[in-house]
């Protein structure tokens, strides 16, 4: 189990380029060793940050990228709640990535069938793995400590059989979603949380310093054989008392 690295930046302005470097460096490493880079994306503020930073790197070759989603809302792709829809408008439509390189849900299916269908798509994309092993998962965290669509005290936290699970009672709208399960998340070669803003400070302290055990879903993300990063800004880290890294400008992870 790799050590957790908590890396604090003065603001999201400095965090963004470091996140982009983490993505591109892991992409180079994966393509060199396995011929492909598999990336799992999350929504929220990550969409704008990642899209801006990757678009600034105009020389990137996306032809060997495979992009999936850590969770997705069961809404049409043109709905403002669709994570894929947001990435399509802000990033995918502006880069040269083949359609076959983007794994989306079938949003026309009922939620249970949608989860099963997405699981099958992942199994086809990762035929040699018992569980899909992503090279990098980018995660966010809600003010309740949820990540992906895995919420506190929800039965899905104990799911061990399914790789993708449906959720019909999300406490955060929209209620119907599909999500990667913890066994898949913890199988990734690298996981990076991005958490910014002062509103995240109380829950970040609980998740990273809490003595109650892994009560929060985000605290249960502990890659078995992979790297774990927490990339946060000063406002989010304001309450932390544990040791953190504070790299200078142009930091490379």
Rounded to the nearest integer, the mean pLDDT of the chain is 93
Q: Percent of the chain scored above 70 by pLDDT?
A: 96
Poorest-confidence range of 63-72, 79-88, 194-203, 209-218? 209-218
How confident is the model over 10-41, as pLDDT tens digits?
999 999 999 999 999 999 999 999 999 999 99
User: Which positions ≥6 away from 103 have C-beta within 8 Å?
Assistant: 66, 67, 68, 69, 118, 121, 122, 125
Q: What is the mean pLDDT of residues 177-184?
A: 98
Q: Give me the phi and psi of 235, to 5 degrees please.
A: -60, -40
- The pLDDT of 143-172, averaged and rounded, is 94
Does the N-terminal peptide bond of residue 174 adopt cis geometry, omega within 30 degrees of 0?
yes
Distance, CA of 234 to CA of 159 (rounded, Å):
34
- What is the predicted pLDDT for the residue at 210? 83
Choose between 149 and 1: higher pLDDT: 149
Give residue-wise pLDDT tens across range 88-122.
999 999 999 999 999 999 999 999 999 999 999 99
Q: In whole angstroms, how far apart are CA 127 and each of 121, 134, 136, 226?
A: 10, 12, 18, 20
- Confidence band, pLDDT 50/70/90 cuts, at residue 182: very high
Q: CATH second-level architecture of 4-233?
A: 3-Layer(aba) Sandwich (3.40)
**Tens of pLDDT, residues 122-140:** 999 999 888 999 999 999 9
Over residues 168-190, mean pLDDT: 95
| pLDDT range class, residue 213, cuts 50, 70, 90 | low
What is the C-alpha to C-alpha distance for residues 119 and 132, in angstroms, rounded to an integer?
Answer: 9
pLDDT digits (tens, 9 = 90+) for 63-91: 999 999 999 999 999 999 999 999 999 99
Query: Where are the domains positioned within the chain?
Result: 4-233
């Amino acid at each position: 189990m790799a050590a957790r690295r908590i890396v604090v930046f003065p603001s999201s302005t400095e965090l963004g380029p470091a996140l982009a470097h983490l993505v591109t460096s892991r992409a180079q490493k994966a393509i060199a060793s396995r011929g492909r880079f598999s990336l799992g994306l999350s929504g929220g503020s990550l969409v704008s940050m990642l899209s801006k930073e990757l678009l600034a790197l105009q020389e990137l070759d996306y032809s060997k990228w495979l992009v999936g989603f850590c969770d997705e809302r069961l809404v049409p792709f043109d709905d403002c709640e669709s994570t894929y829809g947001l990435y399509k408008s802000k990033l995918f439509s502006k880069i040269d990535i083949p359609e076959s390189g983007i794994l989306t849900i079938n949003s026309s299916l009922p939620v249970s069938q949608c989860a099963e269908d997405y699981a099958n798509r992942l199994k086809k994309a990762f035929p040699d793995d018992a569980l899909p092993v992503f090279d990098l998962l980018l995660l966010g965290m809600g003010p309740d400590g949820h990540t992906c669509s895995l919420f506190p005290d929800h039965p899905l936290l104990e799911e061990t059989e399914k790789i993708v699970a449906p959720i019909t009672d999300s406490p955060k709208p929209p209620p119907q979603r599909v999500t990667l399960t913890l066994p898949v998340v913890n199988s990734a070669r690298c996981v990076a949380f991005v958490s910014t803003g002062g509103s995240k400070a109380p829950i970040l302290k609980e998740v990273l310093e809490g003595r109650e055990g892994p009560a929060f879903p985000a605290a249960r993300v502990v890659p078995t054989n992979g790297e774990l990063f927490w990339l946060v800004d000063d406002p989010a880290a304001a309450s932390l008392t544990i040791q953190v890294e504070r790299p200078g400008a142009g930091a490379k992870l």
